[in-house]
Amino acid sequence: MIVRVHATHATGDSEAEMNRAARAERPPRRADGRGAAIVAVGAAVVLAATLVLGDSVGAVAGTGRERPGLVATARFVPPPPPTGLDPNPCLDRRKRRQLYCPDLVMKRPFGLYVDTWTKPGRVLLRAGNSIDNIGSGPAELHGVRRKASWMVAWQRIYRRGGGRIRVRTRAYLYFKRAHLGLRWWKVWRAARFELWRLDRRGRATARVRVGPKVSYCFRDLRRTRPWVRRSPPAPVYPACSTDSSAQRVTLGASPGWSDIYPPTYHEQWIDVTGLRGCFAYVHIADPANSVYESNERNNRAAVVVRLPYRPGPQGCPGGKLPAPEGPAAPEVPPPAQPGDGSGSGGAY
Ligand SMILES: [Ca+2]
Ligand SMILES: [Ca+2]
């Protein structure tokens, strides 16, 4: 399968950054138990540093205890890989007949422009994105607080006969600092920006850069496809929560509605410094498969750009991306492992 990229002239918390933070913050394991002492000292240092900076801490690493109304501001450590995953019932012919399943798609990146001031010395190519739900049911995630900055989330899928089911996907909600200088409860790894180099025939040959932004708050911002069946006339999922004391948060995107992020928003860019030639600028919805959908292979959209970027005709062949990698999550749940973030006080 080839995904055609529209030749045209034409939204941070990267996973790499998270992983670096995790490596930096994880204390070395000691057989003599000194690791625990390091954790305690580290937690005290984080708490002190944060208080000095005027921010607040909701949970001290290692205690697992929350203080309502306060929020961790230290660099966070990602949760362990989720275990106990359910299979995707929306890809099961028999089961999906009983369900209203979501189907996320990504609009083509829009509003591209060069930004040389956000990161002095670097060239950022910004673009807006829009995550749309064209399925028959909402993409709804219900998070339950486990750590200061994290919630484990379950997906709710509504039954055609009434009621709903709950499935464990790879979803986590993250209390992320973003636009307006506020923290928002967002879906971690809800989308990803990628830049692919194109050959002379317009075929994508290598992924050369990724953008920093991966967290988005699902919401009903605009009803862009009112013709979609079961599209509610009014928003069901309003603006995302900034409540630092929230213990439960529900995020979602209704059928026919879009969650839209302008190119000016926080981390809506890919660093294209030093690159020349033709590339596909790709936006991917739900790259980690946090949301089970009726179609997992239509989540990408792209435009072709020539770098250094200038608006107008790009003079590049239409791009062809390699086939999607398929569902990001295995359809058969992996065996359970200790340390699952869905348990109480997951170890991170
Ligand atoms: Ca989809
Ligand atoms: Ca998905």
What's the 140 CA to ligand 2 centre distance in angstroms?
Answer: 12
For residue 95, which phi and psi values (nearest 5 degrees)?
-70, -40
What's the 139 CA to ligand 1 centre distance in angstroms?
Answer: 10
Which range (47-61, 67-81, 271-285) has the least confidence?
Answer: 47-61
What's the 244 CA to ligand 1 centre distance in angstroms?
Answer: 31
**Measuring CA to CA, which residue among 277, 305, 316 is closest to residue 126?**
305
Give the separation between CA 72 and CA 25, rounded to whole angstroms.
14
Tokens in use for 124?
């950022």
Which of the two residues, 333 and 157, has the higher pLDDT score?
157
Domain ranges of the chain: 3-14+95-321
Give the separation between CA 270 and CA 2, rounded to whole angstroms.
24
Please indicate, yes or no, whether the overall pTM of this predicted structure exceeds 0.75: no
pLDDT at 79: 74
pLDDT at 338: 26
Tokens in use for 46?
């984080």
pLDDT tens by residue, 89-139: 999 999 999 999 999 999 999 999 999 999 999 999 999 999 999 999 999
What's the 69 CA to ligand 2 centre distance in angstroms?
Answer: 33
pLDDT at 51: 26
What's the 142 CA to ligand 2 centre distance in angstroms?
Answer: 16
Give the separation between CA 90 and CA 298, rounded to whole angstroms.
14
Give the separation between CA 337 and CA 83, rounded to whole angstroms.
6
Beta carbons within 8 Å of 175's beta carbon, 6+ residues apart:
71, 72, 148, 149, 150, 183, 184, 185, 186, 244
Give the separation between CA 336 and CA 343, rounded to whole angstroms.
12
Which of the two residues, 20 and 342, has the higher pLDDT score?
20
What's the 33 CA to ligand 2 centre distance in angstroms?
Answer: 41
Evaluate whether 127 touches 269 at the Cβ level (below 8 Å): yes
Which of the two residues, 301 and 68, has the higher pLDDT score?
301
Q: Return the ligand number nearest the Cα of 301.
A: 1
Give me the sign of the Cα torsion angle 25, 29, 34, 40. Answer: positive
pLDDT at 319: 62
pLDDT tens by residue, 63-78: 233 333 334 444 666 7
pLDDT at 76: 61
What's the 15 CA to ligand 2 centre distance in angstroms?
Answer: 18
